[in-house]
């Protein structure tokens, strides 16, 4: 398995400060998980179907959080490549909700304006959430088109899109929630909430 972390310069000493302890506690608090329970058996990393594409393995991400290495944790590609499939959670002998840790780190990366390791994945998530805000449901065709527009990438996947359209797997018009004001109320509710990034 390839792992970019292996090729990074080794740090033999990590200087812990009180502030770094805050980070570990904040991750635990947001994720509702005590990350100190992780003893690095690597069951999560060996079970993860996407570990090979990550810069840090899932247990290494937890290690970064335990050691308070905030910047490395929040800028890692791993937290975005994780799709939350929960395979790691099934493997974990310590019942750590690894996917919830990844959720917490993603949300913190946005709140702290960290350099996002996988900007395209974040952009995709934003388009999905925007679609829900507009219609109450996801409109796949529009999500794809807006996402491709942002990336200036019109050519990849044209074939797939045409096939899906011909099989009527992509609706031209969005399906909308009738009482859209209720969806707006939900979004209003979170606008004031701390940590949510408006574009």
Partner 1 sequence: MSSGSVKEISYFPGCSLATSARESNQSLLAFFEAHGIKLVELDDWNCCGSSSAHSIAAELTHLLPSRNLALAPPQRPLLAACPNCFLRLKLTHMTLLQNRRAAEKYRRLWGRAFDARLQIVTFFDLLSDMVDRGVFKDNPRRLTGLKFVPYYGCMLARPPSMRNERNFHGLMEKVLVSLGAVPLTWSQGARCCGTFLSVSRPDIAADSVAGIMQAAVDVQAECIVTACAMCHLNLEIRSPLAIKVPILYFSELLSLSAGIGGGKGWFRRHLIDPRPLLQSKGLIA
| Binding string, residues 48-77; x marks residues near partner 1 by CB under 8 A | -xx-xx------------------------
For partner 1, the closer CB: 20 or 138: 138
Q: Which of 30, 42, 146, 150 binds partner 1 (CB under 8 A)?
A: 30
Instruction: Please give the C-alpha separations between residue 159 and each of 123, 125, 139, 141, in angstroms, as whole numbers.
Output: 22, 23, 19, 14
Question: What would the two tokens of residue 146 be?
Answer: 């807006």
CA 194 – CA 91 distance, rounded (Å): 33
For partner 1, the closer CB: 64 or 108: 108
User: Is the Cα torsion angle 12, 17, 23, 29 positive or negative in sign?
Assistant: positive
189 binds partner 1 (CB under 8 A): yes
Nearest distance, CB of residue 11 and partner 1, angstroms: 28
The closest of 73, 142, 86 to 112, measured between CA atoms, is 73
CA 147 – CA 156 distance, rounded (Å): 12
Q: Which of 60, 72, 78, 87 binds partner 1 (CB under 8 A)?
A: 87
100 binds partner 1 (CB under 8 A): yes
Nearest distance, CB of residue 16 and partner 1, angstroms: 27
| Binding string, residues 157-186; x marks residues near partner 1 by CB under 8 A | x--x--xx--xxxxx---x-xxx--xx-xx
CA 128 – CA 138 distance, rounded (Å): 6
Nearest distance, CB of residue 66 and partner 1, angstroms: 18
Instruction: Please give the C-alpha separations between residue 86 and each of 47, 50, 62, 92, 139, in angstroms, as whole numbers.
Output: 10, 12, 15, 10, 26
16 binds partner 1 (CB under 8 A): no
Question: What would the two tokens of residue 32 be?
Answer: 């509702």
From start to end of 74-140, where are the E strands?
none
Q: Which residues bind partner 1 (CB under 8 A)?
A: 30, 49-50, 52-53, 81, 83-87, 89-90, 92, 95-97, 99-100, 103-104, 106-107, 110, 118, 120-126, 128-129, 132, 136-138, 140, 144, 147, 156-157, 160, 163-164, 167-171, 175, 177-179, 182-183, 185-187, 189-190, 193, 195-197
């Amino acid at each position: 398995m390839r792992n970019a972390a292996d090729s990074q310069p080794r740090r033999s000493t990590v200087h812990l400060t009180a502030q770094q302890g805050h980070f570990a506690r904040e991750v635990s608090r947001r994720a509702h998980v005590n990350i100190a329970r992780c003893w690095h058996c690597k069951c999560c990393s060996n079970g993860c179907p996407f570990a090979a594409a990550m810069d840090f393995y899932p247990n290494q991400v937890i290690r970064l959080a335990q050691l308070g290495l905030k910047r490395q944790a929040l800028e890692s590609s791993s937290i975005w490549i994780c799709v939350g499939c929960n395979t790691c959670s099934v493997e974990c002998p310590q019942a750590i909700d690894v996917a919830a840790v990844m959720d917490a780190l993603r949300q913190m990366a946005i709140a702290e304006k960290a350099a996002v390791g996988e900007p395209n994945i974040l952009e995709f998530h934003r388009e999905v959430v925007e679609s829900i805000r507009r219609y109450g449901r996801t409109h796949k065709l529009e999500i794809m088109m807006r996402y491709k527009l942002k990336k200036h990438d019109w050519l990849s996947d044209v074939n797939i899109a045409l096939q899906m359209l011909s099989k009527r797997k992509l609706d031209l018009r969005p399906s909308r929630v009738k009482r859209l004001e209720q969806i707006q109320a939900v979004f209003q509710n979170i606008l004031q909430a701390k940590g949510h990034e408006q574009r």
